[in-house]
A and B are shown apart, each in its own frame.
Chain A
Amino acid sequence: MSLITVLQRKETHTVSQKDEKWDIEISSEKKLIDFKFKELWHYRDLLMLLVWRDYTHVYKQTILGPLWYLVQPIIMTLAFTVVFGNIAGISTDGIPQTLFYMAGITCWYYFADCLNKTATTFKDNQQIFGKVYFTRLIVPLSIVISNLIKFGVQFILFLCFLIWFSQTNDAVQPNLYILLFPLLVTLIGGLGLGFGLFITSLTVKYRDLIFLLQFGIQLAMYATPVVYPLSTVAPKYRWLIDINPMTPIVEAFRYAFTGSGIFSWYHLLYSFIFMCVVLATGMIIFNRTERNFMDTV
């Protein structure tokens, strides 16, 4: 009896080896690096539709619509100007406070939004993920792109202020480093996505991390030169601010558009390498989690 089953099994194996043209093979194997770029490309239409869905969803049944995107930077800039600029009296390196804070806020919130939203990918999409397969990475990618639209709107607001202030204030000196803008945006998005993938994967099994996240992002903002210029940081704490990969990006952004701040290729390269590492490990761990996460949720 058992011999027969063994024989049968052998037979099926040889048959399957003979015609090798299978399109899909599912097994328990776990490849460490399997980024499925081809599949990502296949689902590009879904990516765009998800972005568009998020976008329309935000302003459905609101009067101001996408104008709401502008409320956050304006309020935050006002609050920072009052609290850090006037009450605490922190220097802004000689450039107008409004412009200084808005530059930091625009960059920082793009990072924070990417991280915050991608960090709950698995939790928010259990319903869909449990019913249909598509490359899961599409979802966090769509979040990064949706936030890019928001960032775009806020960036235009920043540009308006920049043009106004560069006409009236000599300290504001936009320069050629503006050409680095696409790179800076990529770095911010990449870092947000990388960390987000990491956290969403870890929180599938143990949810504790989610509680730390909100708190952590708040704290991280103070470890980034958003409300103060890097030049005022005491040498004793400088290393702490320097290991933060967002620091060189925010500083470079401010330097390019306003001419104040510390620009360093060396530190920017550090951010770039940091992003590559975090994004790659994030994707690896995300891919590993995606295969079995439905069993643990």
Chain B
Amino acid sequence: MSKKVISVEDLSKRYRLGLMGLGSLRHDVNRMWHRVRGKADPYAKIGEVNDRAQAGTSDYVWALRDVNFSVQKGEILGIIGKNGAGKSTLLKILSKITQPTGGSVKMKGRIASLLEVGTGFHPELTGRDNIYLNGTILGMSRREVGRKLEEIVEFAGVAKYIDTPVKRYSSGMIVRLGFAVAAHLDPEILIVDEVLAVGDAAFQKRAIGKMKDVTKEDGRTVLFVSHNMQSVRMLCNRAVLMHNGGIAFDGGVDETIHQYIAKVFRPNHTCFHPEKASAPGNNFIRLRRAELLHAEDQPLNVTMPFKFIFEFWNEISEGGINLSLSLFSVRGECVFKVNTPSRILQKGLITSTCMIPANLMNDGEYTIRLLFVKDTTQVLFAIEELLTFKVADAGRTGFWHGKWHGAVRPKLDFDLASTI
């Protein structure tokens, strides 16, 4: 008894790039002039495929282009894809935050979308007051919230602090409370963006469990966007892969994740910006170069050491700066995070090197995130997916050649001998 509850047809969304200014005024006036004369929008046709790697030539870009898919009742659909593939735009349109440029979406039943937990939480108000406020923002009536108040408080595990202002809550408590409200909305369709990325592991598990229960017991439908392939695999029974604003693949979860790795993953060992003005960064920091280096003659494998080199322009003169490097598997799990010590640096070009020893990485595909941090607390600039690379398996001794499990593959002192 499958029933279609979401139908997306030819959905497109165009964004204008760059800053608002006289240029946009000119476009607006020109567009109006065309409309007055009964002609088509002169800017509707231009615009290119959404590919961040290439510098566009036009001022417009299609974040979504002719997206078609449908979701049956009770399905948990995972939406995966690189940063900038159009996932967030799709969610924003589905949650009515922004309007599409073309195409249509049709949905059945009540919809709750959770693009952020605790939207509209007011720090001065108590937990209880915020539950009411957040619940009504998400579309519940006050009576409904009242009926579910106990359940929500219990699920979030904040019973003790329910009459304390939220500003005294830990960030984990706020996330739990926010999710608890949304999970008790009773929508027929629930749209969830990576909110689970925050919160501790135990809570993530409970949240995923809750979403599963909802779909099983009541036949609700969930759309789930995530970078974390692990949670997509745990939760979803179907997945679509988004790439450059379109749907690149639609099918079973494992198959889609496989496609994601095969299609989307491109090793990228260097990133170089010789011009300071156009280099990624801001007024504090501009990145000149990021590079992965290893012995040149063969592809990187698990037995080879390698190093990351970063070069950046430092523009601030006071306060300590440190770099923080997080290495993620392509499935989204963080393998490790390392920090440089915090140092007071001179203005100008700075170089930083991170050595990765041989026999540490497992084979697989990885990506790194780099943070520039001031005084060990304030993030000055962050770059996701700065470099991506693949570590190949090396020849093994013995006869077993299956997948080697584990986040890392360290070579440890592990021996055996007969005890006489």
Contacts and interface: CB of A to CB of B under 8 A. Distances in A.
Size band of the interface chain B makes with A: 35 or more
A49 B145 CA distance: 12
Given A22-B107, A133-B113, A57 B124 contact: yes
B139 interface: yes
A26 B93 contact: yes
A264 to B, nearest CB: 40
Interface in A119-172: 127-134
A22 B108 contact: yes
Contacts of A296: 20
Nearest to B112: A132
Nearest to A57: B124
A56 interface: yes
Interface in A249-297: 291-292, 294-296
A45 B103 contact: no
Contact of B120 (A16, A43, A60, A132): A132
A205 interface: yes
A215 to B, nearest CB: 22
B106 interface: yes
B408 to A, nearest CB: 36
B99 A128 contact: no
Interface stretch (B130-138, B227-235, B250-258, B341-349): B130-138
Interface in B75-116: 92-111, 113, 115-116
B215 interface: no
Nearest to B63: A295
A238 interface: no
Nearest to A48: B142
Interface in A28-52: 28, 30, 42-43, 45-46, 48-50
A134 B137 contact: yes
Contacts of B109: 23
Contacts of B139: 42-43, 134
A9 B10 CA distance: 9
A2 interface: no
B53 interface: no
B340 interface: no
A10 to B, nearest CB: 11
B119 interface: yes
Interface in A201-259: 205-206
A292 B125 contact: no
Contact of A25 (B105, B113, B125, B137): B105
B119 A291 contact: no
Given A12-B7, A23-B108, A26-B100, A45 B142 contact: yes
B197 to A, nearest CB: 15
Contact of A27 (B92, B104, B142): B104
Contacts of A23: 107-110
A28 B68 CA distance: 15
A24 interface: yes
B175 to A, nearest CB: 14
A294 B125 contact: no
B194 interface: no
Interface residues on chain A, size class: 35 or more
Interface string B117-159: 0011010110001001100111111100000000000000000
A44 to B, nearest CB: 8
Given A16-B9, A23-B108, A295-B15, A206 B97 contact: no
B55 interface: no
B122 A206 contact: no
Contacts of A56: 124-125
Given A12-B9, A132-B115, A291 B99 contact: yes
A22 B100 contact: no
Given A22-B107, A25-B106, A132-B115, A45 B99 contact: no
A24 B107 contact: yes
Nearest to B132: A49
A13 B10 CA distance: 11
A50 B9 CA distance: 36
B25 interface: yes
B104 to A, nearest CB: 4
Contacts of A15: 4
B24 interface: yes
B45 to A, nearest CB: 15
A57 to B, nearest CB: 6
Contacts of A25: 104-107
Nearest to A205: B20
B132 A27 contact: no
Nearest to A129: B97
Nearest to B145: A45
A86 to B, nearest CB: 42
Interface string A44-77: 0110111001001100100000000000000000
A28 B102 contact: yes
Contacts of A9: 9-10, 68
Nearest to A207: B20
Contacts of B100: 26-28
B13 to A, nearest CB: 9
A28 B101 contact: yes
Contacts of B96: 24, 26, 133
Contacts of A48: 142
A48 B137 CA distance: 11
Given A24-B111, A25-B106, A131-B119, A49 B20 contact: no
Given A21-B108, A22-B106, A131 B116 contact: yes
B103 A294 contact: no
Nearest to A204: B20
A291 B132 contact: no
Nearest to B121: A128
Contacts of A43: 136, 139
17 contacts: A12-B9, A19-B4, A22-B106, A26-B93, A27-B100, A43-B136, A45-B136, A49-B133, A57-B122, A128-B119, A128-B120, A132-B97, A132-B113, A205-B28, A291-B98, A292-B99, A294-B92
- 6 closest A-B pairs by beta carbon, nearest first, are A46-B136, A133-B96, A22-B106, A27-B104, A26-B105, A291-B99
Interface of A: 9, 12-13, 15-16, 19, 21-28, 30, 42-43, 45-46, 48-50, 53, 56-57, 60, 127-134, 205-206, 291-292, 294-296
Given A9-B68, A131-B119, A132-B119, 13 more contacts: A22-B107, A26-B96, A26-B99, A42-B139, A43-B136, A45-B136, A46-B136, A53-B125, A56-B125, A128-B120, A132-B115, A206-B20, A294-B97
